[in-house]
A and B are shown apart, each in its own frame.
Chain A
């Protein structure tokens, strides 16, 4: 089949996906910075980083405000990954904090 180039509609949708991705990246880093502030506070006050109760609270809230089409369970998975990767950042940072 001859390549007639990407249809304009697909181009447009891809452009919008890229825009949303850019926004997601920006927002995720904003979230990470807030967590870093929280981490610094926890460090000062001697509170452990591991807080499964709070994590569950966040995951429940995320599922609650989720309107789809992403499944609630998938949204939980996505946020679990986000939380843990950002927490890893804190675990690593601790090493250089003293």
Chain B
């Protein structure tokens, strides 16, 4: 029986982030904390066999007193380290004023869950990346329906933005065992309604690292085109979301763990 028969594995982005027949893994720390910390994190991503590193310079924290990220300094660290290692950077942009700055240092601009319906930001990002190789990773708002999520993407694409990748990161439900509830059915529905690639963020959805690997396997089976996971060389000491970060050893084994599932779905883990 060919289980890949009805699975749309041919979606792609023009900038190569998403390629047909592949399963893209983006990994890295929640936040850039220092040069050394990001260097260790990026090196692990590279050694684990992945090409895209994530890291936050501008952090949307619930409390204004929580660590807010290193800002421009964080962007510079990411650009320098990733340039040296030949990695591409995915990082969040929160403020329209920072779009150009972020584009100078990163290839993929993430629009976070809290800004998922910040329509002026979506439009400005779309217009800024139009005609470039830069991409957008658009997270689903924790209270957004699939329809609202797709319409948010439409704000980016209708402003000229290409290379849009959707990201399911969990929605708010009554369940308290996990931080959010990963909505894998939304991945499938979104893929049937559009030709946009859809990836999954199991780290933010679960809020705990022990569920990240099982949810990642489930994401492959649920027709996702990739993953974005948080990893840290020392989760215990992380400044942000340490409890959901994969330790380095787990990151090193991620490709091997996912490959049998990806192969079954007609994909190669990259």
Measured CB to CB, the residues of A under 8 A from B are 46, 48-50, 52, 84, 87, 91, 94-95, 98
Contact = CB atoms under 8 A, between A and B. Distances in A.
Interface string B142-178: 0000010011001000000000000000000000000
B5 A91 contact: no
A50 B194 contact: yes
A94 B151 contact: no
A84 B195 contact: no
Contact of B193 (A46, A48, A98): A48
Contacts of A95: 6, 192
Contacts of B194: 48-50
Q: How large is the interface on B (under 10, 10 to 19, 20 to 34, 35 or more residues)?
A: 10 to 19
A94 B194 CA distance: 12
Nearest to A88: B189
Contacts of B195: 46, 48
Interface string B190-210: 001111000000000000000
Contacts of B6: 94-95, 98
Contact of A91 (B150, B154, B192): B192
Contact of A49 (B5, B147, B151, B193): B193
A2 to B, nearest CB: 49
A49 B189 CA distance: 11
